[in-house]
Amino acid sequence: MTRTAYVTDLRSLQGECSANYIRLLKLISDAEAGDVRDIALSGQSQRFGTLRIEVLEQAPYTTMLRVHQSGVLDHMIDTPRMMVHLYHDVRMAEVTDFQRLRHFEGRYRYPNAQMHQPDEKLQLNRFLGEWLDHAMAHGHTADLPG
């Protein structure tokens, strides 16, 4: 049986990046370089962490953010953190750094030495979208729009 090479699903990747751009704009709205948004995440009865979005740099066509979460398991696990670039001209947000790994390819041969999934870039951007959706549904902050 012959194996077919993974083909990048560019439409899904672009759709996810466009949706993440909108999600992030809702969460950071009028934030400027140096601003931080802390979003307390909670369930039915207790708080279980904080999503922090830091605006690191702003330029006319791009904004660079650091997104990370802290919580009750910080001493046990490496909590998620990523760098995200917002591209205002194309209205897209892209994960460019995850857990200190940078510059993800659109596709990887599998298996590979780093054990990246063939669609690693799409998975990271999809994870960001799910993370932001969760923060918007279960987050609480004075800065978060209604």
Residue 47, both tokens: 């708080």
4: in domain: no
At 72-103, the pLDDT tens digits run 666 666 677 899 999 999 999 999 987 655 55
Domain that residue 27 falls in:
10-139
Structural domains counted in the chain = 1
114: in domain: yes
pLDDT of residue 143 exceeding 80: no
123: in domain: yes
Peptide bond just before 60 cis, omega within 30 deg: no
Q: Looking at per-residue confidence, does 8 or 50 come out higher?
A: 50
Is the alpha carbon torsion for 16, 22, 26, 30 positive or negative?
positive
pLDDT band at 145; cut points 50, 70, 90: very low
124: in domain: yes
Number of Cβ within 10 Å of residue 95's Cβ equals 23
36: in domain: yes
50: in domain: yes
